[in-house]
Amino acid sequence: MEKFINFLKSYYLLIVIFLIVSGVTSLYFSSDYELNSKNIQEISNGQIVINSVFVPGSKKYFLEITGNFLITFAITIFISLFFVNFIDKIDKDKFENKLLDFQKDTAKNAILSTFERLIEPEFFNIIKNEILNLKLLRTDCRWQYDIEEETNGLLILTRTISYKLKNISNEVSQEPINIIYSDNTHTSSEIIELKSRADGEDKFTKIEFVKKGEGNNFKQNIEIIEVKANSSIEIILILKQTFKNKYIFETHISRYPIINLEIIVNLPKDFSFSLSADTLSSPLETHVDTARKKTYQVKGAIYKGQGIEFFAEKIKNDQ
């Protein structure tokens, strides 16, 4: 990092000039664009009228975004390195850390201001709140489903959900662990255990849920988890469900963005299992596919609201 800072201090004027020239060039060529025609139908006096409108091609928006970003980034580097060269009495390490944070925030603000002008406000707010301003990130997730059949014919599904909760910000952050589960004529559910382990700890600590709400066929438990800056906590939740039908048909939807997912399914003898992952933004790979065990893996991002559905039942014997 020190070599990189010294390189910027020595050649920052050349870098700034290059970025500004590249940005201005991109903006110049953005004014030379093709127009694409689109037909819009509307009803006028009971008749369908087709009007043609012309809109710029995608090349124009790409060059505008690139040009604005390069110019903003060049100004950021110039201001930052100008102060670096003239502030000698300030503690060097502490100042350079603040400088890097300033550059990150400025680059982030440049992206925000650029995209805010190009997309709808509602969609922009979703991107801003759920991706760009994200402080806590769930990584290395594992969804394990252990299915058992009792002698009375009831099916038991034990879900073991584990993940690392990483704080990618420079301040302490809190995350609510909020679980809503249902009891009805076909299914009953109960929380077996919730535990966590912070970085550097050998043993897990059990977490006691606080009951937040209860209705005719649902229960809600919630617990607030605190994560230190630039650290992570490992979370494990075990939930048991009992099914009175002869089959299990369930969904598992992520309410938060996650990175990397492994799904493990353990089946009793003579059971079939199928899984659908059509809503996932990253491909689902099958690693193990045997009669008693299935494993799947997703390498990449899974966004809020995406998930899977699965079906399990005992194989019918026609003999």
User: pLDDT value at position 149?
Assistant: 94
What is the C-alpha separation between 99 and 64, in angstroms, rounded?
27
Residue whose tokens read 């589960």? 181
129 Cβ contact list (under 8 Å, min separation 6): none
Per-10-residue mean pLDDT, the chain, length 319: 64 77 76 58 61 59 76 78 62 58 58 56 57 78 96 94 89 80 81 89 83 60 81 93 92 88 96 93 92 94 89 80
**Within the chain, which residue ranges are assigned CATH 2.60.40.3680?**
136-314
Radius of gyration in angstroms for the set of CA atoms belonging to the chain, rounded to a whole number: 27
What is the C-alpha separation between 218 and 70, in angstroms, rounded?
52
pTM: 0.61
Report, at the CATH architecture level, how domain 136-314 is classified.
Answer: Sandwich (2.60)
Residue whose tokens read 């139908």? 41
User: pLDDT value at position 163?
Assistant: 94
